[in-house]
Structure 1
């Protein structure tokens, strides 16, 4: 496997993975033939921009959430649509379906680039909105379209936002933010989705996608590589300015520096022995039951259930 080979087909790979775990009801991914598009209506320097992420705030009372921690459904339930750029935040990506083998999960700049965006705003590149937004990941497309996306739009309008960068993590995160981007664009806010699951986002249909061919969890750039993260953000801003039609995808020229086997390893049941598969089935079932119980006990939505 080399870096020049095609991206992972995440929809097909996750289907095969869950079939191997014993789940025989393949998920129907969101798909639209038409895509809304809002051109940037003013110079970027005069544009008020916000950041939308599917990372979740660290919650010390809800168990392990750091690098290498098992999926913790309880930690995904919290008050969403929060954030203040005047404060520092510890946001993590303990999602069950990010790449846990080939990335570090130790540099939030790879999934939550707020500090770097602040620097660019201070340099006059754009106007940074007063809040960022945590967007819930939900397998229910109806929930995303009827509740979460309209709430995000209302908050963006309240902040005078004209453009948004949306940074995705797990496969369902990519779908949720694709649906959010479509809703924002249909209501006059220009967007760029930053993602690593190209097929999920393009299948849904978005105006602009900056694709990085990296393991999931690194949509804002390679971890512990400030230059790569800055290049990724500048590419996203250039795409925001230069796109003239929907379904515009740019691919980052950056290459993943780690093992080239990451594309073979991710959610590949052929590379797991029966004992490992049985353990993963128990983990997936426990996460599903915990998430269901928490949904019954709270109004706050979960960040990821895939």
Structure 2
């Protein structure tokens, strides 16, 4: 739980996109600051919903597609987490396979409810695979349905948890669209360049490996502290103030070493040599918002 003393971040483009995958840098739209919907309740009284993009689902639910799937699954708050599966095939899913809470922090949310940090964790989480580039449909069709789901559960604030690089764009678009439809959001991100450009409402940044927004696998106390900090930091944002990406004060390693950067790069390298799933996923994402951000935000109200 040591305060991060520097401002370094993992550069996906420099470490993975070019040298490992031989692809251009991730296409990331640069949005203006979003309009915020004020929180109706203090965090300690609020019902908090969870929106994850790791593709979590249960065996008796229809599997989510690996990419370009605008559907979602509702995950009950009390169901055994050992049964959960992940449809997102990104190489960094290895962390979630070791501990589901790093990508789908359900146990963490229940712990925060019991501790009184939040009023209540919602009855169901919303889970998608964030490898999506149908941005118009995502903002104008999927986001309103998600708002309806959470509104029916009495949710006051939604925690959005992007997973892979593409998830940071799709998750940011979703967060902005949900916010503009009257439901406050806050996002817990791990890819600094994408998060800074998309500007999801009340976003926080955790300098941890991609795939681990909820903390280090099996480090329960750290996971709880990270998600608590993200929620409290997001809830404290002044809706009238300037947008900023608030960095959370946690280190992956107690001594501050950044060996985890090599681990993340190696996960992508091995996957590229064996499956090539990231390159295949890139070929499926032919749409980009870069260069049409203003038109998109007007058209899609986000």
Shared fold (TM-score greater than 0.5)?
yes
Q: Of 105, 108, 112, which residue of structure 2 is paired with 1:113?
A: 105
Contact 1:53–1:133 (Cα < 8 Å) also in 2? yes
Deviation at 1:78, TM superposition (A): 9.9
Displacement of 1:58 in angstroms is 5.5
**How many angstroms does 1:287 deviate by?**
6.0
Structure 2 residue 137 is the aligned partner of structure 1 residue 135: no
Compute the displacement of 1:73 (Å): 6.2
CA contact 2:158–2:186 (8 Å) conserved in 1 = yes
CA RMSD across the alignment: 3.9
Task: Please list every run of 5 or more consecutive structure 2 residues that lacks an aligned counterpart in the other structure.
Answer: 287-302
Q: Residue 29 and residue 59 in structure 1: after superposition, are their counterparts in 2 closer, same or farther (change >3 A)?
A: same
- Displacement, 1:210? 2.1
Gaps of at least 5 residues in structure 1 are: 66-71, 293-306
Q: Is the 8 A contact 1:81 1:152 kept in 2?
A: no
- Give the Cα separation in 1 of the matches to 2:228 and 2:175: 19
Q: CA deviation at 1:175?
A: 1.4
Provide the TM-score with structure 1 as the length reference.
Answer: 0.73
Distance 1:170 1:191, change over 3 A: same
Cα 1:92/1:10, change in 2 over 3 Å: farther
What is the aligned partner in structure 2 of residue 6 from structure 1?
8
Q: Please list, as runs of the form range in 1=range in 2, the aligned pairs for 1:69-108 lying within 5 A after superposition.
A: 80-89=72-81, 90-93=83-86, 95-99=88-92, 103=95, 105-108=97-100
The total of aligned residue pairs comes to: 275
- Asked if 1:209 is matched to 2:177, the reply is no
Contact 2:50 2:126 in 1 (8 A): yes
| Corresponding position of 1:226 | 220
Alignment correspondent of 2:258: 260
TM-score (norm 2): 0.74
Which residue does 1:158 correspond to in 2? 152
Is 2:174 the partner of 1:180?
Answer: yes
